[in-house]
């Protein structure tokens, strides 16, 4: 269903008991709500939580922002590298406001906020901006955004910024399979059929690379978040893959270091995906974290 999130049309799915404690899932760069595996969502709903997942602005079935133009990602990346301000059509803080707008539309006063990758950055911004609405924060395979942190290796950046050979479904599927093979979990290799199924579900739902570029510049422009993380008071869990080639493990470590009392767990063999096997390890830490936050 689509909701009006403070003037932005956002596609939302709602699972589990409607009177259960709410868990709001925020997905990463260019990824749709379907990137949260059904097994992950189902396990949280089965534990008694109301689980909300949604398409971020500019992606999936949510409102697009094509009228704002497409940034020159190479030029903005060069500016970022030299410490110059990055121009972005909208910000991570704007996307955090979208999250709060979704909560308002669903009449959720307070929720556990869980974000993956860019979604973790958005989740951090929600916890900074509206602490009274955050029961707990979980940041998965994400980063504080501090400038000195290690960057992905060049071949990973190349895979992320590459484009399909053409607009055919075959070319798009091949492109995303190749990308996920580069950034995926070496300790939990995804079955070829399952990976292809996930890619097909996503691209048959929506493909919008222009939105991904705008989101990417929003990530690059959010350079002050690291210094604001000590303001977060919510019980915080940081989960990261030891073998993440896109957001190196030091990024998760730095996030946890900056948030007082944060719990930090590294998952061996996990890369930058939510593969079967990875999901179970995440849930081992996440469910107890959510349950403990209910009693504080």
* Nearest by Cα to 241 from 115, 113, 117, 92: 117
In terms of pTM, does the model score above 0.95? yes
pLDDT value of position 295: 65
pLDDT value of position 34: 98
- R_g of the chain computed on alpha carbons: 18
Task: Indicate the SS3 state at residue 153.
Answer: coil
E-only strand ranges, 117-173: 134-140
Task: Indicate the SS3 state at residue 11.
Answer: strand
For the record, the structure tokens of 207 come out as: 């493909």
Number of residues written out for the chain: 296
5, with CB counted inside 10 A (0-12, 13-18, 19+), is buried
Total domains present in the chain = 1
Per-residue pLDDT tens digits for 6-28 = 899 999 999 999 999 999 999 99
Q: How far is CA 190 from CA 72, 187, 205, 231, 246, in A?
A: 33, 9, 21, 38, 17
For the record, the structure tokens of 45 come out as: 């709903």
Asked if 1 and 11 touch (Cβ cutoff 8 Å), the reply is yes
Domain range for 176 is 2-294
Does residue 107 come out as left (phi exceeding 0), alpha (psi in the -120 to 50 range) or beta? Answer: left
Distance CA 177, CA 173 (A): 6
pLDDT value of position 161: 86
Q: To which H or E segment does residue 12 belong?
A: strand 8-15
CATH of the domain at 212: 3.40.50.1820
Task: Indicate the SS3 state at residue 54.
Answer: strand
Q: Cβ contacts of residue 88 below 8 Å, gap of 6+?
A: 71, 76, 214, 217, 218, 220, 221
Question: Which residues of the chain have a pLDDT value below 50?
Answer: none
């Amino acid at each position: 269903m689509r909701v009006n999130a403070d003037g932005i049309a956002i596609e939302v799915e709602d699972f589990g008991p409607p009177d259960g404690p709410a868990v709001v899932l925020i997905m990463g760069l260019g990824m749709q709500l379907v990137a949260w595996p059904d097994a992950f969502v189902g396990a949280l709903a089965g534990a008694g939580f109301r689980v909300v997942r949604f398409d971020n602005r500019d992606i999936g079935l949510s409102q697009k922002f094509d009228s704002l133009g497409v940034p020159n990602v190479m030029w903005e990346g060069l500016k970022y590298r030299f410490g110059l301000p990055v121009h972005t059509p909208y910000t991570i803080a704007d996307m955090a406001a979208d999250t709060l707008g979704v909560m308002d539309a669903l009449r959720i006063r307070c929720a556990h906020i869980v974000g993956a990758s860019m979604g973790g950055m958005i989740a951090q911004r929600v916890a900074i901006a509206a602490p009274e609405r955050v029961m707990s924060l979980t940041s998965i395979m994400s980063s504080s955004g501090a400038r000195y942190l290690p960057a992905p290796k060049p071949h990973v950046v190349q895979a992320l910024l590459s484009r399909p050979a053409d607009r055919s479904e075959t070319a798009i599927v091949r492109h995303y399979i190749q990308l996920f093979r580069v950034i995926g979990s070496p300790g939990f290799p995804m079955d070829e059929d399952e990976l292809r199924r996930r890619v097909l579900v996503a691209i048959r739902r929506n493909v919008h690379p222009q939105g991904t570029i705008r989101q990417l510049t929003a990530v690059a422009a959010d350079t002050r978040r690291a210094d604001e993380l000590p303001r977060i008071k919510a019980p915080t869990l940081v989960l990261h893959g030891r073998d993440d080639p896109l957001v190196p493990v030091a990024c998760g470590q730095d996030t946890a270091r900056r948030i007082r009392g944060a719990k930090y767990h590294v998952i061996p063999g996990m890369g930058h995906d939510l593969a079967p096997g990875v999901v179970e390890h995440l849930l081992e830490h996440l469910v107890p974290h959510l349950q403990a936050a209910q009693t504080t």
